[in-house]
Amino acid sequence: MKVIVDLCVVPIGVGVSLASYVATCERVLQQAGLTIRLHPNGTAIEGEWAPVMAAIEACHVAVHAMGCPRIFTTVTINTRTDRDQSLDDKLASVQALLG
């Protein structure tokens, strides 16, 4: 099943700057071969269910390996059965209405 996911991984107990942890997760997602879009509060991911969930787990493994003792993650999952929809499709439908 194809999914579009919004992922926000928040390392806890590592200080204020999280950029290095975000970069690590982005590398993990890129290596998984998923379609991703980094945004200010997380990452949008497009792909098949199992590889996306495996990549989210791999993000946790990688961030813990950096010495992070705790991670709080939010995941929003969007699936459709009526048609195949991409990240670009979702944005284009709103942009068309905006003119």
pLDDT in tens, 47-58: 999 999 999 999
- CATH of residue 37's domain is 3.30.70.930
pLDDT category of residue 12 using cuts at 50, 70 and 90: very high
Measured CA to CA in angstroms, residue 1 lies from 37, 78, 87 at distances of 20, 11, 15
Domains of the chain: total:
1
Q: What pTM does this model have?
A: 0.91
Q: How many angstroms separate the CA atoms of 15 and 87, rounded?
A: 32
Which domain does 90 fall in, by range?
2-98
